[in-house]
């Protein structure tokens, strides 16, 4: 008894909608559906190969892949106008606000001292605060105090000894607000 077994397959139509096709003795329908699947697979494969030619992380070593030049001004920067560039600008703005807030907190809770620390007063005055005191006041504002301090030091707004500050261990490290307009 031939022709009693039937299989159900899925094909993609032009609108990418999966429509079931019944395969039975009518092999023309099955061949048409397999042919459609093969064409769709070939199309995807060709598109993927083209994409991989431009992917710098692909193992496809084609000369058409343009390697980034380290001496270019835009090396390591996102494409202009991209969402990545916008997110970077937004993050920079956010961090700048946090650094400004940190400097305000140091001004409010810090103590005015001689800049050179020897009491001669020859170098002017600076505002200083110990890390432990700053941590107690600042922890309710942000949980990223150490990272913001490092960023502020990189911008030459504050100064302190050591690379990293640890709560408890470095509570007595003096943080100096570097600002010439304190008087």
Instruction: Quote the Cα angle for 154-92-111, to 5°.
Output: 45
pLDDT for 131 beyond 70: yes
Same domain, 45 and 98: no
Both 89 and 160 in one domain: the answer is yes
Is residue 16 assigned to a domain? Answer: yes
Number of domain units in the chain: 2
* pLDDT single digits (tens) 1-59: 444 444 444 444 444 444 555 555 555 555 667 888 888 999 999 998 888 877 777 77
Same domain as 99, residue 44? no
Whether residues 49 and 104 share a domain: the answer is: no
User: Do 87 and 173 lie in a common domain?
Assistant: yes
Q: Is residue 182 part of a domain?
A: no
Is 2 among the domain residues?
Answer: no
Which residue from 146, 117, 153, 152 is spatially nearest to 132, judged by alpha carbons?
Answer: 146
Do 48 and 120 sit in the same domain of this protein? no
pLDDT in tens, 85-121: 999 999 999 999 999 999 999 999 999 888 765 554 4
- Stated pTM of the model: 0.55
45 and 115 part of one domain: no
Say if 19 falls within a structural domain. Answer: yes
For 45, the domain range is 8-54
- Average pLDDT taken over every residue of the chain: 77
Residue 152, in any domain of the structure: yes
Look up the CATH number of the domain holding residue 170.
1.10.10.1540
Cβ contact 141:98 at 8 Å: no
Q: Categorise residue 20: left if φ over 0, alpha if ψ from -120 to 50, beta otherwise.
A: beta
Query: Integer distance in angstroms from the first to the last C-alpha of the chain?
Result: 104
Phi, psi of 50 (to 5 degrees): -65, -40
Q: How confident is the model at residue 160 (pLDDT cuts 50, 70, 90)?
A: very high
Same domain, 45 and 96: no
């Amino acid at each position: 008894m031939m022709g009693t077994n039937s299989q159900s397959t899925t094909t993609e139509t032009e609108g990418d909608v999966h429509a079931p096709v019944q395969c039975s003795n009518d092999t023309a329908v099955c061949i048409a559906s397999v042919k459609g699947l093969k064409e769709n697979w070939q199309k995807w494969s060709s598109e993927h190969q083209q994409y991989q030619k431009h992917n710098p992380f692909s193992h496809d070593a084609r000369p058409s892949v343009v390697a980034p030049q380290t001496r270019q001004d835009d090396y390591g920067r996102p494409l202009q106008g991209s969402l990545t560039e916008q997110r970077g600008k937004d993050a920079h703005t956010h961090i700048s606000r946090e650094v400004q807030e940190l400097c305000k907190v140091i001004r409010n809770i810090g103590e005015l001292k001689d800049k050179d620390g020897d009491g001669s007063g020859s170098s002017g005055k600076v505002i200083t605060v110990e890390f432990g005191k700053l941590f107690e006041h600042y922890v309710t504002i942000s949980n990223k105090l150490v990272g913001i301090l490092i960023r502020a030091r990189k911008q030459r707004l504050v100064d302190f000894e050591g690379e990293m500050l640890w709560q408890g261990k470095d509570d007595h490290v003096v943080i100096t607000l570097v600002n010439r307009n304190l008087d």
